[in-house]
Chain A
Amino acid sequence: MNNQITSQKSGDLDPLFLSNLLEKYSTEQSIKKWDMGASSSRDLSVQVQNGKAKQLKGSQRNSLTLRVWNENNQVGITSTSDMTNKGIKKAMRGAVEASLFGNKIESPEFSPLAKTELEEDNSKISSPHTIDDLLIILKKAEEQLIDTHPAIDSVPYNGLNESYMERIYINSEGANRHMKLSQSSIYLYAKAQEKDKKPRSAGAVKINSELNDLDINLCIKETSDKLISHLNYKPIETNKYLVCFSPEAFLQLLNAFSSMFNARSILDGLSLMSKDSLGNQISVSTLDISDEGLHPENVGAFSFDGEGTPTQNIKIVSEGKLINLLHSEATARKFGVKPTGHAGLGAKVSVSPDWLVVRKNQTEEDKDESLGVKKTNKEFILIDELSAIHSGVKASQGSFSLPFDGWVVNKGKKTSIEAATVAGDILKVLDSIVKIENEQIVTHQGISPHVWVENVSITGEA
């Protein structure tokens, strides 16, 4: 192998150069107000199969999104991956043309926080590794995983990736945000089959800013433990059960219904909540939810959003009450608050959560304090991971029907469930929580403890 092949290459984004270029092109088009977000990434990734390299990938990508305000304050936008002068000039022309069709009633403005001081940037930039390094690590991980149990025959889906990312935001009023970070990730998805039984599969993902700090052994162990625990399976009867959601599963569910906390969705009528919902009790009083993009465990977080607003930690639900929403500049203006750092960049700006953190409110008592995933003797369903979120969730109606991987747990003994779905209404689920455990567990999509919910509908095949 050529040890010189790494994921880094010179060619960083230059905010000053881009700013001067856009100033020139905007003047040519009689545009006085504009802003721009640009990103650049360099990636290397490997996949292996049976101890050999399968596919090796690299990429160097740049893109730019340009927004302009015309003389009628209508906004136009254009994106391009052509970062040549002509490409950027064409993007300016495209944005000006698009602005003629911009919404005359509701236009975004610059974020009032686009020039405020950012939190100290503590993001780590790791030293690049060679493709050889990545291959050696992944081949070893594949081998170790297969060796953990005789029934594990392959790791059909796997990958090890190292990325370097860069993002800038600049505008015609002098805002200038610039940040770089690195990220590494590994995923292992293994398959096992025992004689006269169906094939079973399970996987795990780990992310870190440094490849050297990536917990590969834990990824192997989690995948193996899960897969082995699914080898002995049985169907379950359709019924209502006491359910314990794993931290991953509960966060998946919350993220699927995050339009409840999203000011843009509320204004568009796509949320279960309305403008008047702030202050309302939306769950049991033991539940606290916040969005903490600045949490140190949130690897890959940028310190500003698409509009240049600093990323912030926001308390969303406290003691079960909805106390804050996630905002862009435009939604914040409508609600009379400040932007929260959750915006994209567009003619109509999207809003999305960064990193949800679920906690038990320590001043409130759970309905059933006796429950605990490691100690409960009564029968319950442990839901490990939900599937098909994109198709099984009706976010605007609150309903969901989702397949899941999980176990029936009885007196501490776990038996894998062959195939089943969990269905319900999110507000009913939040109101039927009987226990939120104290131990918070970090996942790749946020932090949550195990959360217990009673009377949950499960469809099985028994």
Chain B
Amino acid sequence: MRVKCHNKRKKKLTNSLLTRKNEDLLFHTFDETLRFQLEELLSVGKSAGADLIEVFLEKSDNISLMAEQDDISNVSPSFGIGAGIRVFLGKKDGFVSTNDLSKEGLLFALNQALGMLGLSTGSHNSFKFDGLTDFKDFASKKNGWLDESPDIKESTSKLLEATISLSNKNKNLQVRRASYSRNWQEVLVAASDGVFARDIRLHQTVGINVIAQKDKNRSTSARRYGSSGNPNDLRNWDIEKSVCDLNESAQKMLYAGYVEAGQMPVVLANKFGGVIFHEACGHLLETTQIERGTSPFHNSLNKQIANKAVSAVDEGLSNHAFGSLSMDDEGMEPQNTLLIENGVLKKFLSDRAGSLRTGHPRTGSGRRQNFSFAAASRMRNTYIKQGNFSPDELIKSVDNGLYCKSMGGGSVGPTGQFNFSVEEGYLIKNGRLDKPVKGATLIGEAKEILPRISMCANDLDLAAGFCGSVSGSVNVTVGQPHIKVDSITVGGR
């Protein structure tokens, strides 16, 4: 065994990262000057006999705003600091999070993580640690993002512009709400395999929702938009377009009747229609699921799992897309991962622990909500690729069915059974859109539905969303072109 460490000083933690700088932590950027302190911390872990130690440091500066009717009802800034320390030994791992970044706090967390695996510091006299590699600073051009983002005054003005515009469009809107959140996060990852990287993330979302009421009829409609890495996103928000779209939806659904339950062909619109693929298939391709043995696709690599019309990808690269990132939360650059090609399963999404436990190579998909979660394999921008049909051709191919223009949320069970609510639906009669319907739920199992996606249109588009799973809520985009499912169970009245 060889002992090697960049820091030639005694392997005893200094106070610099952990106390003196702690007082300034919120106000200064993470940078290479933390190298020695981090190497000391990692050395302590290695000296206990751990296979790998990873330190994740995070600072956050968030704001959320809400406008209701014609007033600002909530302005909530929040700041955060924290660290997540993860120790691997064999295929096991111990993870401890803390927002006590004092020397005592970080050492306590490290010792706790080591102790979970039966390790204690200093028990191995010789160990191999080559020190951290060259610092990868993915944030070097992002340091100004926080200042470049709109301030509270500008943000609240935009929200009020939206709710007032809604009022002007439609007097039947009993409730008009607009919300904005800006999440700024600076992260630094250092691991005993040498990873040493920093990034800054900026995510902004705008949501608008209304309740329309006329006599005893009520309808609710909502829209959400989001971006990453674009400080000007709120400034460029096309309020008029969003308001018209939302208002039209609320008006159409105000008098919609309940859909009749049954099996029928369904055409799903593009953008957020992709939430079904995300939930019903995407999650089953994460090694987080594969290692539990619950995914019906865990033995299906290079096998036909979907109709030949279906090719799908997950990537973290699309410019300003909500799920894009420069590095994942384990310091790896994201990839464009081809999941399904012409119906054949090609790859799983893998993180560090998933790769260790399943053997599937990492794809830059290790993600977490914040320092308090261990990273897990998670989707980024996930979508079905577009085909050659026009959306009209899909509608025309259905005699009696359902057109799902706007999807609500949904969920998927551990073995692939899923359900999704339809926010805005229309019956399809003889190849044409008919009356609006409400109360529809799409129910099925991924393994049975994927072969029934028979047509993909040529209008791929993405939509921002939040995905909750084992490592918390992360920003993602879902997407697809218009697609046709030959038969699916529609829940209704």
Closest B residue to A387 by beta carbon equals: B411
A60 engages B105 (CB within 8 Å):
yes
Is there contact, CB below 8 Å, between A191 and B439?
no
Which residues of A302-339 have CB atoms within 8 Å of chain B's CB atoms? none
Q: Is B462 an interface residue (CB 8 A)?
A: no
Q: How far is the CB of A46 from chain B (nearest CB, A)?
A: 8
In angstroms, Cα B493 to Cα A421, docked, is 10
Contact yes or no, A269 B26, CB < 8 A: no
Asked if A11 and B66 sit within 8 Å, CB to CB, the answer is no
Distance from A332 Cβ to chain B, minimum over Cβ atoms (Å)? 18
Closest Cβ–Cβ distance, residue A187 to chain B (whole Å): 13
The chain B residue sitting closest to A235, CB to CB, is B489
In the complex, chain B residues whose CB is within 8 Å of the CB of A457: 261, 492-493
* Min C-beta distance of B177 to chain A, whole Å: 9
Whether the Cβ atoms of A421 and B491 lie closer than 8 Å is yes
Q: B174–A269 contact, CB under 8 A?
A: yes
Task: Specify which chain B residues have a CB less than 8 angstroms from the CB of A11 in the assembled complex.
Answer: 100
- Contacting residues of chain A (82-100) with chain B, CB-CB under 8 angstroms: 82-87, 90-91, 94-95, 97-98, 100
* Cβ-defined contact, A5 with B414, below 8 A: no
22 A–B contacts from the bound complex (CB under 8 Å) = A1-B115, A49-B291, A52-B91, A53-B116, A56-B113, A58-B116, A60-B97, A60-B100, A76-B75, A82-B80, A84-B22, A85-B23, A101-B153, A191-B415, A198-B445, A348-B74, A388-B421, A421-B441, A421-B491, A459-B443, A459-B489, A461-B489
Q: Is A201 touching B152 in the complex (CB atoms < 8 A)?
A: no
Residues in B neighbouring A76, C-beta threshold 8 A: 75
Q: Is the CB of B439 within 8 A of A5?
A: no
Q: How far apart are B319's CB and chain A's nearest CB, in angstroms?
A: 30
A102 at the interface (CB under 8 A from B): yes
1/0 contact trace for B113-138 toward A, CB 8 Å? 11111111000000000000000000
Given contacts A396-B211, A421-B419, contact A77 B120 (CB under 8 A): no
Q: How many pairs of A and B residues are in contact by the CB < 8 Å rule?
A: 254
Is B237 interfacial (CB 8 A cutoff)? no
Docked complex: A380-437 residues within 8 A CB-CB of B = 387-388, 390-392, 394, 396-397, 399, 401-403, 419-421, 423-424
Contact (Cβ within 8 A) A391 B408: yes
Interface centre among A52, A84, A100 (most CB of B within 10 A): A84
B297 at the interface (CB under 8 A from A): no
User: Is B82 within 8 A of A81, CB to CB?
Assistant: yes
Beta-carbon contact of A156 and B414 below 8 Å: yes
Residues of B within 8 A of A156 (CB): 292-294, 414
Q: Is B72 an interface residue (CB 8 A)?
A: yes
Is the Cβ of B109 less than 8 Å from the Cβ of A269?
A: no
Contact B99 A52 (CB under 8 A): no
Interface bits B9-32 vs A (CB < 8 Å: 1, else 0): 000000000000011111100000
Residues of A within 8 A of B443 (CB): 403, 419-421, 459, 461
A189 to B153, CA, bound (A): 48
Q: How many Å lie between the Cα of A424 and that of B292 in the bound state?
A: 35
How far is A453 from B63 in the complex, measured between Cα atoms in Å?
45
Interface residue range, chain A: 35 or more
Interface residue B374 (Cβ < 8 Å from any Cβ of A): yes
- A residues in contact with B99, CB < 8 Å: 60-63, 81-83
A79, A198, A347, A401 interface centre (most CB from chain B within 10 Å): A401
A16 within 8 Å of B (CB atoms) = no
A154 at the A/B interface (Cβ < 8 Å)? yes
Checking A56, A86, A423 against B26 with a beta-carbon cut-off of 8 angstroms, the contacting residue is: A86
**Which of chain A's residues have a CB closer than 8 A to the CB of B115?**
1-2, 4-5, 131
**Contact indicator A401/B421 (Cβ below 8 Å):** yes
Question: If A5-B115, A56-B93, A399-B439 touch, does A103 touch B263 (CB 8 Å cutoff)?
Answer: no
| In the complex with contacts A56-B92, A154-B293, A191-B294, A423-B77 CB distance below 8 A | no
**Minimum Cβ distance to chain B for residue A323 (Å):** 25
Query: In the complex, which residues of chain B have a beta carbon less than 8 angstroms from the beta carbon of A94?
Result: 77, 79
The answer to whether B414 touches A131, judged by C-beta atoms less than 8 angstroms apart, is no
Whether, in the assembled complex, A57 has its beta carbon less than 8 Å from a beta carbon of chain B, the answer is: yes
Q: In the complex the two chains form, is B292's CB within 8 Å of A388's CB?
A: no
Min C-beta distance of B375 to chain A, whole Å: 11
CB nearest neighbor in B for A199: B415
CB contacts (< 8 Å) of B239 on chain A: these are none
Whether A19 is near chain B, meaning CB under 8 Å from some CB there, is no
Chain A proximity of B82: nearest CB distance (Å): 6
A238 at the binding interface (Cβ < 8 Å):
yes
Other-chain contact of B120, A2, A83, A84 (Cβ < 8 Å): A2
Tell me how far the C-beta of B464 lies from the nearest C-beta in chain A, rounded to whole angstroms.
Answer: 17
Select A57's contact among B96, B174, B261, beta carbons within 8 Å.
B96
Q: Nearest 7 CB-CB pairs, A to B?
A: A391-B409, A2-B115, A5-B115, A421-B491, A156-B292, A56-B116, A459-B261
Q: How far is the CA of A59 from the CA of B445 in the complex (A)?
A: 36
Q: With A55-B374, A419-B417 as known contacts, state yes or no: A97 contacts B100, CB within 8 Å.
A: no
Closest residue of chain A to B155 (Cβ to Cβ) is A101
Q: In this complex, what residue of B is CB-closest to A91?
A: B79
Q: Is B395 an interface residue (CB 8 A)?
A: no
Flag A356-389 by CB within 8 Å of B: 1 or 0 each.
Answer: 0000000000000000000000000000000110
Residues of A within 8 A of B152 (CB): 97-98, 100-101
> Does B386 count as interface, using CB distance less than 8 angstroms?
no
* 8 Å CB interface, B355-383 against A: 372, 374
B262 at the interface (CB under 8 A from A): yes
Whether, in the assembled complex, B410 has its beta carbon less than 8 Å from a beta carbon of chain A, the answer is: yes
Whether the pair B94, A56 counts as a contact (CB closer than 8 A) is yes
Q: Does any Cβ of B come within 8 Å of A80's Cβ?
A: yes
Q: Do the beta carbons of B76 and A347 come within 8 Å of each other?
A: yes
Q: Is B248 an interface residue (CB 8 A)?
A: no
The distance in angstroms between the C-alpha atoms of A80 and B81, with both chains bound, is: 8
Which residues of B lie under 8 Å from residue A86 when comparing CB positions?
A: 23-24, 26-27
A80 touching B79 in the complex, CB below 8 Å, given contacts A56-B92, A154-B293: yes
Cα distance, A268 to B76, chains bound together (Å): 19
B68 at the interface (CB under 8 A from A): yes
Contacts of B420 in A (CB 8 A): 391
Contacting residues of chain B (332-353) with chain A, CB-CB under 8 angstroms: 353
**CB closest residue in chain A, given B260:** A238
**Counting CB contacts under 8 A, is B95 at the interface?**
yes
- Give A55 to B440 CA distance when docked, in angstroms: 39
Residue of B nearest to A80 (CB): B79
**A49 cross-chain contacts in B, Cβ below 8 A:** 291-292
Which residues of chain B have C-beta atoms less than 8 A from A396's C-beta?
Answer: 175, 211, 218, 220
Task: List, in ascending order, chain B residues with CB within 8 A of A103's CB.
Answer: 71-73
Smallest CB gap from B92: residue in A: A53
Least CB distance, A172 to chain B, in whole angstroms: 20
Q: Please, which residues of chain B bring their CB within 8 A of the CB of A154?
A: 292-294
Residues of B within 8 A of A401 (CB): 421, 439-441, 491-492
